[in-house]
Amino acid sequence: MQPTKRWLKWGVSVFAAGVLAVGGLGTAAAQGAKKGSAKPATKAAPAKKPAAGAAKAAGAAGAAGAAAAMAAPSGPIELQVWHTLNPQQAAEFDSLVQRFNEQQHGFTVKVTAKPSVEALIEDGTAAVRARRAPHLVELPDNRSPEFIARQGAILPMYELLAKYPIKDLRWFLPQTTAGMSDAKGRLLALPWMADIPVYLYNRDLYRRAGLDPDTPPRTWRDMQAHLIALLQNGVNCPYATSWQTWVHVENLSAMHNTAYATRNNGLEGPNGAQLLANDLLHVRHLALMMSWVRSHLFPVRTDQDQADAAFASGECAVLTSGSSALAQVQGKATFSYGVAPLPYYEEEAPRPSTPFVGGSAFWALGGHSTAEQKALATFIAYLATPVVAAEWHQKTGFLPLTEAAYRASEVSFYKNIPGAENVVRAMANPPAKFTRGFRLNNYDRVTDIINSELNAVWNGVKPPKQGLDDAVARSSAVMSAKK
């Protein structure tokens, strides 16, 4: 599960667990699951049952706290929005917010950039406790959206938009809303940062190597021939990858429309689901990748997005990463580049499928007055307007939020990045059977396990099959463990 800070040690569920004990904001049993890229839920230890008098007093205090939180604001409304966007994305978001504030809506939006997901969670939990919760927070997809939505600190997006509808709203991506929807298909968070893995390539280096820059490889076998040509023509880093688990394990399944885990990728219920990432497809792929490592075709491999910089600088000719890498590439690249879907194996599938959608989303927090909720809905409607959402899509590489945003995107944007429109347009198709996503218990820990086993393979400590077998066995114990 991927990037925008995707699979860090902390996740959405940790924030939810942190607010469980806050009076008047609700409690619920935790239920876990998984940059794509997740942060499964951590179940809180059961509390001791208080004496009847203490329980009654606590209930009264909680009710009073909730009433105080819902009271009308004492002064002008200032919506607080917290995020952990990277510098390029943050600069674009700040620009959009500044334009919104200049329109004089009767309230303002204040943006706070947190240095990490951990910091946002820690500060957010403290703010909720102090009845000073922000209105909107960016958190990574943890493949368990129902968990955080159950907590009283969260205001589900479908409730807010039902009360304050956005006119003519039609989401662009089926998977976008699926990744942040509950079991009934109701939207829980705003999918403002939807991301997919893509193949980025340096068109100038392609030409220098005698390759057709308008014909990126369709298959991994074709890609090998391209990398050899690049290496033979003086490119020391033909291929780099960011988010190695997201690209080479999770989306290897998705691109071939094969199950990544049992129980329909855990969507039928994560309890008892088992990874299938040591099947023949994954073993063969990892063996091919290892042959590239040994022959210097594949020198840069990272757990998160560090490889993006190696491509943007021109050091590496090819990069597999999230589409959001375009924010850095557009800002720093001094060469012509193109975008294509991830390669696939034509012997494994008649045609490539679509990848899992990863990324972060904006979650609304409850406990605010009706006037503040209305103001928040007005700001969200602004973000969803075609011109604004199209600009965000084009400047950051995140996928369009709405169908109208895709139509509003400038023709020149797609013309300047060959292949980009085909990749984006394909994501509007209904997802295939096994590409709707997955939900697996304790997936943040699973991602760490898979990354460690991949590194053991790259370093020659384990052969591909043993590395994948060990990853599945270790993950099985983690996914079945109590949270």
Give the pLDDT confidence of 283-311 residue by residue, as tens digits. Answer: 999 999 999 999 999 999 999 999 999 99
Q: 3-class secondary structure for 148-217?
A: HHHCCCEECHHHHHHHCCCCCCCECCHHHHHHCECCCCCECCEEEEEECEEEEEEHHHHHHCCCCCCCCC
Mapped onto helix, strand or coil, the DSSP state of residue 232 is: helix
| DSSP letters for 14-76 | HHHHHTTTSTTS-----------------PPPPPPPPPHHHHHHHHHHHHHHHHHHTSPPSSS
| pLDDT score of 117 | 85
Distances in whole angstroms, Cα of residue 430 to Cα of each of 177, 181, 436, 465: 12, 16, 9, 33
| pLDDT score of 446 | 94
d(CA 112, CA 134): 10
Residue 55: what residue type?
A
Walk along the chain (483 residues) in steps of 10 and give the mean pLDDT of each run: 42 45 33 34 33 33 38 78 93 97 96 92 87 90 56 85 91 74 82 95 98 98 98 98 98 98 91 96 98 98 96 98 94 96 96 92 93 97 96 95 90 88 90 89 92 98 98 95 68
Q: Can you list the pairs that 231-235 forms with residues at least 24 positions away whose Cβ atoms lie under 8 Å?
A: 231/295, 231/296, 231/297, 233/205, 233/208, 233/209, 234/208, 235/205, 235/209, 235/316, 235/317
Mapped onto helix, strand or coil, the DSSP state of residue 337 is: strand
d(CA 133, CA 69): 9
| pLDDT score of 386 | 95
